[in-house]
Amino acid sequence: MSKEFIPLNIAVLTVSDTRTGKTDKSGAILAERAEAAGHINVDKQIVKDDVYQMRAVVSQWIADSNVHVVLMTGGTGFSHRDSTPEAMKPLFDKEIEGFGELFRQVSEKQIGTSTIQSRAVAGLVNSTAIFCLPGSTNACRTAWDSIIAEQLDSRHRPCNFAAYLVGELPH
């Protein structure tokens, strides 16, 4: 595995019935943090909380070998419109169970037992990592700063996802 930093191509998808390019703070935070870490933002979009709209955008990204990571924000709660996990899980080749578990553990320190209402999930599909985060800007900061940044950094030891995403390791 490489000990050099490998910049990854990252696409950001905000799932919201109300956000616009001007009001999408969570998507902006994810894009800014990814870029500040040395990664490349290749696309950023907003879709309604609709299973098929989400799948359409993400399917294009996972079919594109130039996209290594999809960061999604929104749609992971319990309202009748929240459907991000249901939209993404059928696409996963492998679910990253530890992501949701660790995210809720880290979040508990900030929001207490309310963390049980987070349905944050992640998975690997076609050599692309997909991270589905809550829509809160604080949750996006927490997920990036506490988990995702290290796991997308090719220098992080003992392991990270970067090598899998750029084809340095056998799948």
56-71 average pLDDT score: 97
Query: Is 170 within a domain?
Result: no
Query: What is the CATH classification number for the domain harbouring 121?
Result: 3.40.980.10
Residue 94 in domain? yes
Mean pLDDT (the chain) is 93
Let me know if residue 171 belongs to a domain: no
Residue 2 falls inside a structural domain: no
In a domain, 36, yes or no: yes
pLDDT for 2 equals 52
pTM: 0.94
Whether residue 137 is contained in a domain is answered as: yes
pLDDT digits (tens, 9 = 90+) for 10-26: 999 999 988 988 999 99
How many domains does the structure of the chain reveal?
Answer: 1
Among 46, 43, 44, residue whose Cα is nearest residue 18: 46
Where helices occur in the chain by DSSP H, the ranges are 25-36, 51-63, 84-88, 97-111, 137-143, 149-151, 162-165
